[in-house]
Amino acid sequence: MQILPGNKIADQILEGIKSHVSMLAQKPKLGIVLAGENPTSEVYVKLKQEKAKQCGIESLLIRTSTNIAEIIDSINRLNQDSSVHGIILQLPVVGVDASSALAAIDPRKDVDGLNPLNLGRIFNNINALASATPLAVLKALEYISIYYDSNLNDYLKGKNTVIINRSILFGKPLAALLLNLNATVTIAHSHTKAISNLTKNADIIISATGSDINLSDSDVKEGVIIIDAGYRIVNNKAKGDISHQNIQNKCSWITAVPGGIGPLGVAMLLENTLKASQSTL
């Protein structure tokens, strides 16, 4: 079993962004809307700003209440600011349905890929800004494909892939991206019965539930790849969805938590910001 070096891959992406940005006359700028008071969100926003600065990308933080009208007003101000190239609303916004706020983000500046227009373009296999965390999963799989002297398109073709998440933030856009690359995709969720019936035949299992997914050696096939995008704190320690110990004898690759998909997600967010600043879409 090999542990995918998420931090190392993310650092390489960030170095590439930094090199590109250093040649630009106008530096990309990321606008971040932070609604309400959420200590976890504060940590994530600080990390994104630090990594942006590391790459030479400017950031602008706007704090607002959780009132949806105020959130949308903040987003509209960033939409109209020509110096801002990328916009994100830090999620979750506790107690608020953020869908109308996400829809308010200018699709050209939607670097988290959650505006319905960008999501629709991805589902129709049309070039668009895609969700950062699903892109992080693709980047992890690309690393594995290169290890086997292949490329992402050829490597994923026909691969049985189970995604344990059906959210519009992760599972659905990831499914679309994988289908666009000719993977064979199945989505499991909280109402799926006997999930092991799906995982037993999976070449790739991707989970992002924030809760325990109990899989044993008998529930997975030999050589399975586990992409664990789940994250929570248990007894002051970061924990993913799937225990390595239970399936390590069958896995060929698995992502660590922390240090796996998380840092890659931040890197892909900043890569999207660079793309948006260059109008490459």
Residues tagged in the binding site annotation for NADP(+): 165-167
Tracing tokens 């505006």 back to the chain, one arrives at: 115
DSSP code string of 170-205: THHHHHHHHHHTT-EEEEE-TT-S-THHHHTT-SEE
Q: How far apart are CA 119 and CA 107, in angstroms?
A: 10
Q: At what angle do helices 6-21 and 39-55 cross, to 10 degrees?
A: 50
Q: How far apart are CA 197 and CA 202, in angstroms?
A: 9
Give the CA count within 13 Å in the CB-facing half-sphere of 224. Answer: 28
Annotated binding site: 165-167
Spatial strand order of the sheet with 2-4 comes to 2-4, 251-255, 224-228, 204-207, 160-164, 184-188
Which of helix, strand or coil describes residue 272? helix
Which of helix, strand or coil describes residue 133? helix
My answer on whether omega of the bond before 116 falls inside 30° of 0, hence cis, is no
Q: How far apart are CA 142 and CA 153, in angstroms?
A: 9
> H-helix or E-strand containing 30?
strand 29-35
Q: φ and ψ at 243, to 5 degrees?
A: -75, 125
Amino acid at 36: G
CB 21 within 8 A of CB 56: yes
